[in-house]
Every structure is written in C-alpha cells, then in structure tokens.
Amino acid sequence: MTDRTTYVLVDGENIDATLGQSILGRRPQPHERPRWDRLLQFAEDHWDQQTKGLFFLAANGELPMPFVQALTSMGFRPVPLSGRADEKVVDIAIQRTLDELARREADVMLASNDGDFIEQLSPLVGDGRRTALLAFHEFRSSGYVPLFDRGLEFHDLEYDVRAFNDKLPRIRVIPIAEFDPNEFL
C-alpha cells in the first residue's frame, strides 16, 4: 500500500435516482440499493492505497440520522448540505471538492452518472494522478467519453464494483465469452 490517498466522492442522489427511475422504474427497496462500503473496498483494492470516502447528500430540513450513522460505520464521512431551492447543493459541493483536489496530490474516484462534474474532473485526468468514474455504463454522461482517452478509468457499479447484492434488471451488450443462455431461459 502507498502513502497516497484515493478520495471516493459519492453523488448518492444521482446514483439512487438513476437506479430508481431508469433501471427499476420505481423507488428502490433497501435490499436493492448499493452496498456503499463496497465502493471504498473496491477503491482500496483497485489502486492498493488508503481511501477516504465522502458521501454528499442534500439534507434540507432534517438530517437522516440512521443513514448518516450507517455511512459513518462503513467508513464514509457524510457531507450533509442545505441551500436554496434553486441550488443543486450536492453538485456544487462535489464541484468545489474536485477543484480543491486539483491542488492536492491525491487520486479520485467519482460515483455519479451526472455530467455536471466534467469541467472540474477534466484537469485531474492525466496529470500523474489516477482518476475513475463509478457509474452505470448505459446511463453515464457521454461528456466523460473524451476523458477516457486521456486516462480516466471507468468502472460499472454493478459489474465491476459489485456494489449490489441482487442482479439488476439492466439491458447491456454481452461479450460472447460472458454469455450464459440460462440467464434468458
């Protein structure tokens, strides 16, 4: 393990909304949600260095204490945010965090499908640090594609990170080497 740190930034609302609206077509049940601790473990194992997880969430009004306590017990530092109704507080906070990380020697994994972070993530790619996007392949913003040529890694939350206990009802292109007809019969 190196002395370097990987920061895992989680846009939980985006991942949850994509899972619910685009994949399941309904609000996810607790057993269908990502196992967030697996993101930290994936990051630590993948780059063989310590991780620091920041989980950004909008907490307008009331702080969801059971969720915050669960995140803390998994090793995340919850970042509860509030703001005006017209402010995307989670996006603003992640953008500011990426800007700050550009001034530090650290690696970054961003868990989001949202293209609102491309401008802030771009300077971090290919400058001697490792960067990765953790998302759902078919729902990630196409704006990230040019960054892959510059060294941004991509890891699918279900297939690579294995953040889910249950198989999600996703349609994907299947490499023939992975094709199992039993999945369709």
**Tens digit of each residue's pLDDT (9 = 90 or more) over 9-51:** 999 999 999 999 999 999 999 889 999 999 999 999 999 999 9
Q: Which residues of the chain have pLDDT under 70?
A: 1-2
Question: Residue 90 is part of which domain span?
Answer: 2-183
Tell how far CA 98 is from the center of its chain. Answer: 14
Tell how far CA 184 is from the center of its chain. Answer: 29
**Residue 40 CB-density burial (10 A; 0-12 exposed, 13-18 middle, 19+ buried):** buried
How many other β-carbons are positioned within 10 Å of the β-carbon of residue 20?
15
> How many CA atoms, within 13 angstroms, populate the side-chain half-sphere of residue 119?
6
Residue 1 confidence (pLDDT): 65
Domain count, the chain: 1
Residue 174 confidence (pLDDT): 82
